[in-house]
Structure 1
Amino acid sequence: MDGTKVAGRTGGQLLADALVAQGVTHAFHVPGESFLDLLDGLYNVQNRIELTTCRFEAGAVHMAEAHGKLTGNPGVAIVTRGPGACHASIGVHVAMQDSTPLVLIVGQIPFAETDRDTFQEVDYRRMFSPLAKWVTQIDDARRVPELMARAFDVARSGRPGPVVVAISEEMQKQVVEVQDIGPAPTLPAFPAPHAIPRLLELLDGAKQPVLVLGGTGWSDEGKAAIRDFALAHDLPVAVGFRRLGLFDGTSPNFAGDLGVGSDPGLVARVKESDLVIAVGTRLGEATSQGYTLFPEGQTSPIVQVHPDPAEIGRVFRPLLGITADLNGFAVALKAAAPAKPRPWGEWTRRVRAGREASVAAPDYEGPLNFARALQALEKELPEDTIFTVDAGNFATWPQRFMSVREKQEFLGPTNGAMGYSVPSGIGAAITYRGRQVISFVGDGGFLMTGQEIATAFQSEVAPIVIVVNNGQYGTIRMYQERHYPGRVSGTMLKNPDFSRFVEAFGGHGEVVTATDELVPAYQRARASGRPAVIEVRMSPEQITNRQTVTQIRAAATKA
């Protein structure tokens, strides 16, 4: 504090200025009367914060979450009370399970009416407490700088995640004289002095090691350092569920991804490994294949590195746990471990050969071999493309058959949220204007949040959405066939012409039904300079990239 007198500001203006003080450059919202004064405050800082108006609260939070994933800075979403907050809750759950820094601001009823079940009243501390890292409510404008600074600190710290801030109506109108508070100059946690020497000692004793990368908050420097370390020591590298952007998929030591639809051969190799160096990953349910990679309740051959000590050994007991910022750890590890000959070269080649065999496109029946089409598309894409995916079997096709390169990004919901891909792709395109965004989504997920394509037009960005249409909720149909073969109930869909859907907005639409049609469709879509939808019409029989409906039924009947 320098003692300078501060001019009086409304709570709404203080909130807008608090966002500026925290370095916020983008905010995503659906307007509501419960935060009119905040909107008025944002009018005064429109040269500092780009405010994106969305069509649905879930879409707004997904856009903010994508911004948080890409930048490492908390994404900001603003929604109104009651129904708006309920719609937004799915995005909070995504941010929590994906460890994404996010601040959700929710307009609130007048605090004088609390506990009267007034119009749209919700107790947000109770509602969001299982979903967020922290929930608070600001009823006194004098506390805006303090509580907003705290919200951003919590969202960024340790295991990043979402924070919810409710702002009462009267508070936004109060005029007070307080100073803004910026981010705290906090240095990230560095590995303990003996941590890296002990890790290297364990590595020296290994014969079949695997490096598994996951988590969020990786910088370009951190990713480059862990890449250099892995290459210098000839380590096979796998990535956790939907973390394909962490390591170059074309690298000679990339082993593939652990998650839904993983290569069974990779899973077997990880189980064979005598040392798993897990950096950033929580080794959660999807990455650990339903908690089957290692035996529970006993020490496993794991070195787990995570910024939050509470995540280390949460399920699997490691040989060594290291609490550290991921980027600081990677840089320190590279510096402490210069290249030297390693005895596991044959092991690494065997693991890599499994990846190469997995990405070889099978001879699928019919005119569309989606695997070959995707591999042809991969060669056309810019080196800094951003991919987004939704939840569903369709996502396993690009995850298996495409290689995400070093300068590319890959965003997907580890909590399995349908409706994520389209808005997150739009959020990515707004965050990094000029970069190509490809959003993969199923027909079911597209009709959950596909209306957000209107936001792309309004924001003047041009993502390309690839809708994989097989006329069904494919993942649920797959499980249905496994457990109740032939008894199809409640999983079939009647869809519109998705290419004409985007044309109604003034966008570019394409339909693909054969292998060699995808690349020309992409080229035309990109050349249009407009938001585009490429509808890929898949056979409902090819329910996954490994099995048909007929094969699943036959296996289920035999069992």
Structure 2
Amino acid sequence: MANAEASERPLSAGHLIVAQLEREGVRRVYGVPGESFLDVLDGLHDSPISTVVTRHEGGAGFMALAEGRLTGLPGVAMVTRGPGAANAFIAVHTAYQDATPMILFVGLIPVPDRGREAFQEFDLAGWFADTAKKVVTLDDPTAAARVVSESVHLARSGRPGPVVIGLPEDVLTRPAGPSQPLRPLALPGPRPAATELAELTGRLERARRPLVVVGGEGWTAHTGRELTRWAAQHSIPVLADFRAYDAVPHDPDDSGAYVGSLGYGRADHAARLLDEADLMVLLGAPRGDVLSDGYTRGLETETVLVLPGDARGHCGRIDQFIPAHAPALVLDLVAAPAVLDADAVWFKAARMAHARFRTPATRPAVDDAHVDLTAVMGVLAQELTEDAVVTYGAGNHALWPARYLPHRAPASLVAPRNGAMGMGIPAAVAASLVFPGREVVSVAGDGCFLMNGQELATAVGYGAAFVALVVDNGCYATIREHQEAAYPGRPSGTRLTNPDFAAWARSYGAYGETVASTRDFRAAFRRARASGLPAVLHLLQDPSVRAPSAAG
């Protein structure tokens, strides 16, 4: 009788939140526990949702962001008030600028304590309102399911992004009344109207040097392959937005149309394509600061912009705006009858320039005291499986994988488009949990690694397996490079003192090995991969090397 009575009691708001997350298809929640949301934690105790306890709220946020990037469902992080929310802020900003779906739950002080400078009190909307799609506080326990459902829908719809939900601790324990989990809201997949598609086709038919730029979320193996096949057939080069390199496949035999990426580390030929194109079709990628080399390239080119939401973040000319999901438009575009007359010589030159750019330069001698990252990337390109997931944060170390590692499967790259350091290791943890059967490799700078390297403990605790390459050059190399250009001979504030990263990894129960010579890398990588553990390879890099050889 007691059990029957308990089953008939209404759910608390905290338990209803968990029940709604289950209905929405959420499989993991990342977070650092706090007393402000104990009732949600209690609801998670009996839930099929896995609670991944991280070592820092920044790590939790980045893991949630990575899950959103890899699955299309909002990744979920839970943190406590004040200090916890502050630590998670970096991930919210990244999700906002990267247009990635994410939900951040923040435990709050009890409602009666508001405005009294209570312990860890802060203004949730004041902090997050301009870097989230919406900030909402759950003041009505009966609204718990609706708030969660609407937030998940908002995070995914239009231009994806983060939604922040405040949870007052006293509201969470109150009965949610007769409320029950709701059916998830349908997500519309906007497709172009026939007239919009006809106008786009007409522009392509009139252009001699049309250029396609891909970006954003939601690309599949089918849509990416169909786009590059169609573009190659019509001699249209395809570029990727910054850190959206996995939107379309990179064909090793040059049979496709992918000719490189834009943004930091881009090749000179990619910039020339922006300058020389007479039509730019932006599929899921607004022409922003990084894509346009600081608002300097392609601004006056005839432009078609395809985005599911508004044109936020776009600069320069727009001749046609199509409010559609870019991958969905691709399927209509490749099926539409068209007679195109693009410049085949221009297209062939772009493919040849990209082939030169991605081919590692030969090194005349082997440095036995340091590891050559260019050669390391050549080994990885041979060793990695075709659907391997690559993660990295921000810094000069990211220039090598961006240039030399091909992506042949969607959802195979997680890297911050807003340049946030510290994302690579949390993203690798999440990628391994989301795709336990796929290989995961993280390339990390020494500065970037130690910002969230403690999440190696999370990886060990939850059975995540990946190989992290820690590039040790003893400095914040990106800033040092700027100093060397602007203030030669006067380095300041960029030196790092590093631990023995391999020994540090072993202390966590992970695999750790130091690699001091390029010739030793392949065998070390195979040992790390075969360990079945989270693994750290400590790569000693020449401190004077800042980037791969000059762009082609």
Paired with 1:343 and 1:327, the residues of 2 have a C-alpha distance of 22
Give the deviation of 1:507 after TM superposition.
1.4
Say yes or no: does 1:346 pair with 2:345: yes
**In structure 1, what is the equivalent of residue 160 of structure 2?**
160
TM-score between the two structures when normalised by the length of structure 1: 0.93
Q: 8 Å contact 1:386–1:410 — kept in the other structure?
A: yes
Q: Determine which of 284, 287, 290 is the counterpart of 2:288.
A: 284
1:263 aligns to what? Answer: 267
* Equivalent position of 1:304 in the other structure: 305
**Alignment-derived partner of residue 499 in structure 1:** 502
Q: Which residue of 2 aligns with 1:554?
A: none
Alignment of 1:455-470 (within 5 A): 455-470=458-473
Pairing 1:122-133 to 2, within 5 Å after superposition: 122-133=122-133
Separation of aligned partners in 2, 1:84 and 1:407 = 33
Task: Name the structure 1 match of 2:25.
Answer: 23
SS in structure 2 opposite 1:450?
helix
The alpha-carbon distance between structure 1 residues 408 and 107, as it changes in their structure 2 partners (threshold 3 A), is: closer
Matched, 1:275 2:279: yes
Take 1:402 and 1:188, find their aligned partners in 2: how far apart are those partners?
A: 31
Q: Which residue matches 1:532?
A: 535
> Could you give the per-residue CA deviations for residues 79-107 of structure 1, whole angstroms, max 9, x where no partner exists?
11110000000000110011000000010
SS of the aligned residue for 1:477 comes to helix
What's 1:355 paired with?
354
Kindly provide the amino acid, as one letter, of the partner of residue 264 in structure 1: D
Matching residue of 2:481? 478
Q: Percent identity?
A: 37
- Range with greater deviation from structure 2 (535-544 or 248-257): 248-257
Q: Which amino acid aligns with 1:331?
A: L
What residue in structure 2 maps to residue 440 of structure 1?
443
Match for residue 87 of structure 1? 87
1:551 match: none
Cα deviation code 1:264-323 (max 9, x no counterpart): 12211221111111100022211111111124xxx53211111113338x3111222111
Residue among 12, 17, 38 paired with 1:10 = 12
Alpha carbons 1:429, 1:437 under 8 Å: kept: yes
Instruction: Assess if the C-alpha contact under 8 Å between 1:30 and 1:60 holds in 2.
Output: yes
**Is 1:213–2:229 an aligned residue pair?**
no
CA–CA distance in structure 2, aligned partners of residues 68 and 93 of structure 1: 14
What secondary structure does 2:246 align onto? Answer: helix
> CA distance change for structure 1 residues 254 and 9 in 2, over 3 Å: closer, same or farther?
same
Query: What is the Cα deviation at residue 489 of structure 1?
Result: 0.7
Deviations 1:119-141 (A, max 9, x none): 00011011100110100000221
SS in 1 for 2:319: strand
Q: TM-score, normalised by structure 2?
A: 0.94
Which residue of 1 is the match for residue 190 of structure 2?
189
**Secondary structure of 1:379 counterpart:** helix
CA distance in 2, matches of 1:407, 1:161: 19
Shift of 1:514: 2.4
Answer yes or no: is 1:378 the counterpart of 2:381.
yes
Question: In the TM superposition, what is the alpha-carbon distance from 1:442 to its structure 2 partner?
Answer: 0.3
Q: Deviations over 1:50-70 (max 9, x none)?
A: 111100000001001000001
- Mapped contact 1:18–1:181 kept (Cα < 8 A): yes
Separation in structure 2 between the aligned mates of residue 484 and residue 327 of structure 1, nearest angstrom? 45
Per-residue deviation at 1:197?
A: 1.2
Question: How far 1:24 sits from its partner (Å)?
Answer: 0.9
2:232 partner letter: L
> In the alignment, residue 124 of structure 1 is paired with which amino acid?
L
Could you tell me which residue of structure 2 aligns to residue 389 of structure 1? 392
Q: Decide whether the 8 Å contact of 1:155 with 1:162 is kept in 2.
A: yes
- 8 Å Cα contact 2:228-2:258 kept in structure 1: no
Cα separation, 1, equivalents of 2:8 and 2:203? 57
Question: Which residue does the alignment assign to 2:240?
Answer: 239
Deviation at residue 448 of structure 1 after TM alignment: 0.6
Partner-residue secondary structure (3-state), 1:318: coil
| Matched residue SS, 2:280 | strand
Q: Distance in 2 between matches of 1:393 and 1:201?
A: 42
Take 1:341 and 1:303, find their aligned partners in 2: how far apart are those partners?
Answer: 16
Distance in 1, matches of 2:220 and 2:360, equals 33
The one-letter code matched in structure 2 to 1:256 is: G
Q: Does structure 2 retain, via aligned residues, the 8 Å contact 1:279–1:304?
A: yes
Matched AA of 2:477: G
SS of structure 2 residue aligned to 1:228: helix
Partner of 2:97: 97
Q: Is the 8 A contact 2:97 2:418 kept in 1?
A: yes
> 1:542 and 1:275 mapped to 2: Cα distance?
38
* Structure-2 separation of matches of 1:185 and 1:221: 23
Q: Once the 2 structures are TM-superposed, how far is the Cα of residue 503 of structure 1 from its aligned partner?
A: 0.8
Task: Note if contact 1:93-1:132 (Cα within 8 Å) is conserved in structure 2.
Answer: yes
Give the Å deviation of 1:223: 2.5
SS of equivalent to 1:52: strand
Aligned to 1:545: 548
Range with greater deviation from structure 2 (521-530 or 352-361): 352-361
Task: Tell me if structure 1 keeps the 8 A contact 2:103–2:163.
Answer: yes
Matching residue within 511, 519, 524 for 1:521: 524
Q: In the TM superposition, what whole-angstrom CA distance separates every residue of 1:317-354 from its partner, at most 9, and x where no partner exists?
A: 1222111012321111122147x674422211100111
Classify 1:34/1:286 alpha carbon distance in 2 versus 1 (closer, same or farther; 3 Å). Answer: same
Aligned counterpart, 2:3: none
Tell me the secondary structure at the aligned position of residue 194 of structure 1. helix
Structure 1: unaligned runs, 5 residues or longer: 548-559
How many Å separate the matches in 2 of 1:284 and 1:546?
A: 26
Contact 2:206 2:340 in 1 (8 A): no
Separation of aligned partners in 2, 1:376 and 1:260: 23
Tell me the secondary structure at the aligned position of residue 437 of structure 2.
coil
Deviations 1:5-42 (A, max 9, x none): 97411111111111112121111111111111000011
Give the CA deviation at 1:73. 0.6
- Tell me if structure 2 keeps the 8 A contact 1:373–1:516: no
* Structure 1 residues 407 and 136: alpha-carbon distance in aligned structure 2, compared to 1, 3 A threshold: closer
Alignment of 1:69-148 (within 5 A): 69-148=69-148
* Aligned 8 A contact 1:223 1:246 in 2: yes
The answer to whether the 8 A contact 1:394-1:442 is kept is yes
1:418 corresponds to: 421
Report how many residues are paired: 537
Distance change in 2, residues 1:408/1:109 (3 Å): closer
The whole-number CA distance in structure 1 between the counterparts of 2:287 and 2:280 is 11
The letter of the residue matching 1:308 is G
Aligned partner letter, 1:310 = A
1:55 paired with 2:59, answer no
Counterparts of 2:502 and 2:341, CA distance in 1:
53
- Residue number in structure 2 paired with 1:65: 65
User: Which shifted more, 408-417 or 185-194?
Assistant: 185-194
Offset from partner CA, 1:196-244 (integer Å, 9 cap, x none): 1111111111112211100112234432332333233232111000011
Give me the whole-angstrom Cα distance separating, in 1, the residues matched to 2:492 and 2:375: 32
Q: 1:192 Cα shift? A: 2.2
Deviations 1:154-186 (A, max 9, x none): 101110000000000111110122122122124
Q: Secondary structure at the match of 1:439?
A: strand
